[in-house]
Structure 1
């Protein structure tokens, strides 16, 4: 899962539960996840999901949160919007038809939720996915590169963290990279929520580096997430960041990043690893947001339809 469940980084009740999560509870949660994925259009209450898991509603809610990192209802929302992203890219269905197909009864609710969690409207997502081409990775990096002004003299004024690779992730990341048209970027983003959804507060692109840096952000408590994938100038190629292909690696910080008095109070390291079946879908339209932020497509000036 995206979240680190080691003691010391979550609430005491969740820590206690995480320590005693058993294999049968993992199987129960996986059974629910597989059921949800197989039939997104069917409404599922907490009690119905708990029944599939053969657990009480309250306990299932706790177990699911400890294993997946978010409540079951939010996970179902993420699955539905992930399916909507795929339909927007791979089909010519109207947005209204997609809305109903993934389980929403209101186009307005679907559009607002999609925009909030993906970072752009369904219409914008479709337009950018069907653009003739995107910038090459070197062009994109040069456009998004950050030059820190002289005031940033202290390491406390720049977020710095290490990037490492899990044993399996390291193997995956090195497969066939010599034949890649572009190197693999590592997108690092800061999020206010403990899940990588919506537009990040700040982001950077690390290329073949063992560290990342981020500029100062407003005081607060943030969560650091990273995703690595092969960049392509063909928009459809990386519009969905298909985790099932084994080509996507992810990481989450081992603790929140705290900013107090315009100073970073701690560092957060990242360990890149393959996506797990119970990981919440990566809803943030990472490639789209990078392209849109520096080279808006002219069609995006039109209102969503």
Structure 2
């Protein structure tokens, strides 16, 4: 029975990977669930359940994240790309693309393109300067202490946040950031917002290429095995083991350098234009 379950699981992963590859190759088309499920070899009803069980999110949300990631890639790889041209990655209008992009990334497409180098320089400053722990006090807050482990070769910056779903496609309810250069690091998140959250982490190696901080397909990642329920102030300990991306992992579409700047600017009252 267990052998059959493992076999089914392997078949489901293969089917989901096949569907994801198909979506990536046909982002400009108005893809339907029936089309995608057919490629995977399942009925829409069955495939929907398989896909969510494998990736943690719906087909629609995954596809939307792929399209936003494609937009980010075009904006950074081809500076002359206009927002109007980006409509052709599957959005019904320029306005729809701009709204969805800002919701996921935190900036309009134009601002994302214009501020990329500024945010890159800001992140690079932290390579030589230790991160300061936010001191917002713990009274009335839940405190989540994340014990982060990573492969021995990894040196870089690690972002950890609380998200309502196992995909980082919106601003986290709370988060923190730390530099990583050894086998284990503790990163503390404080929040006064009750809810059910997944703890997601991304590890970005230090790089001289600005794109490596915005296009994160090669970054390490980790997530809590299930959502944690925060109903009242409490202390939570958990382990997060950073690993390389799997073919079924959704893209990390949020703008992590922007989140770092916003975290720091609360106390410094600084502006992006200053960097």
* TM surpasses 0.5: yes
Say whether 1:216 aligns with 2:187: no
Q: Which residue of 1 aligns with 2:167?
A: 195
Q: Which residue of 1 aligns with 2:261?
A: 291
Q: Could you give the per-residue CA deviations for residues 89-137 of structure 1, whole angstroms, max 9, x where no partner exists? A: 111111111122x111211111111111222221221112143951311
Q: Which residue of 2 aligns with 1:275?
A: 245
Deviation at 1:57, TM superposition (A): 0.9
Deviation at 1:23, TM superposition (A): 2.3
Q: Which residue of 1 aligns with 2:230?
A: 259
Q: Could you give the per-residue CA deviations for residues 257-282 of structure 1, whole angstroms, max 9, x where no partner exists? A: 32223x13643321111100110111
Q: Which residue of 2 aligns with 1:46?
A: 33
Q: What is the alpha-carbon distance in structure 2 between the residues aligned to residue 132 and residue 119 of structure 1? A: 13
Change in CA separation of 1:298 and 1:52 when aligned onto 2, cut-off 3 Å:
same
Q: Which residue of 2 aligns with 1:180?
A: none
Q: What is the alpha-carbon distance in structure 2 between the residues aligned to residue 164 and residue 133 of structure 1? A: 25
Gaps of 5+ in 1: 1-17, 178-182, 300-305
Change in CA separation of 1:55 and 1:199 when aligned onto 2, cut-off 3 Å:
same
1:210 match: secondary structure = strand
Give 2:49's match in structure 1, choosing from 58, 62, 73.
Answer: 62
Say whether 1:225 aligns with 2:200: yes
Q: Which residue of 1 aligns with 2:24?
A: 37
Give 2:77's match in structure 1, choosing from 85, 90, 106.
Answer: 90
Q: What is the alpha-carbon distance in structure 2 between the residues aligned to residue 219 and residue 272 of structure 1? A: 26
Q: What is the alpha-carbon distance in structure 2 between the residues aligned to residue 281 and residue 82 of structure 1? A: 7
Q: Which residue of 2 aligns with 1:162?
A: 147
Q: What is the alpha-carbon distance in structure 1 between the residues aligned to residue 192 and residue 130 of structure 2? A: 21
Which runs of structure 2 are paired with 1:3-152 in the superposition (5 Å)? Answer: 21-91=8-78, 92-100=80-88, 102-131=89-118, 134-135=121-122, 136-138=125-127, 142=131, 145-149=133-137, 152=139
Gaps of 5+ in 2: none
Give 2:217's match in structure 1, choosing from 234, 239, 242.
Answer: 242
Change in CA separation of 1:193 and 1:43 when aligned onto 2, cut-off 3 Å:
same
* Preserved CA contact (<8 Å) 1:47 1:57: yes
Deviation at 1:230, TM superposition (A): 1.8
Q: What is the alpha-carbon distance in structure 2 between the residues aligned to residue 259 and residue 23 of structure 1? A: 34
Deviation at 1:220, TM superposition (A): 1.5
* Preserved CA contact (<8 Å) 1:258 1:265: no
Change in CA separation of 1:39 and 1:140 when aligned onto 2, cut-off 3 Å:
farther
Change in CA separation of 1:273 and 1:77 when aligned onto 2, cut-off 3 Å:
same
Q: Please report the RMSD computed on the Cα atoms of aligned residues, expressed in angstroms.
A: 2.6
Q: Could you give the per-residue CA deviations for residues 197-237 of structure 1, whole angstroms, max 9, x where no partner exists? A: 11112111123343221123212222110000123465334
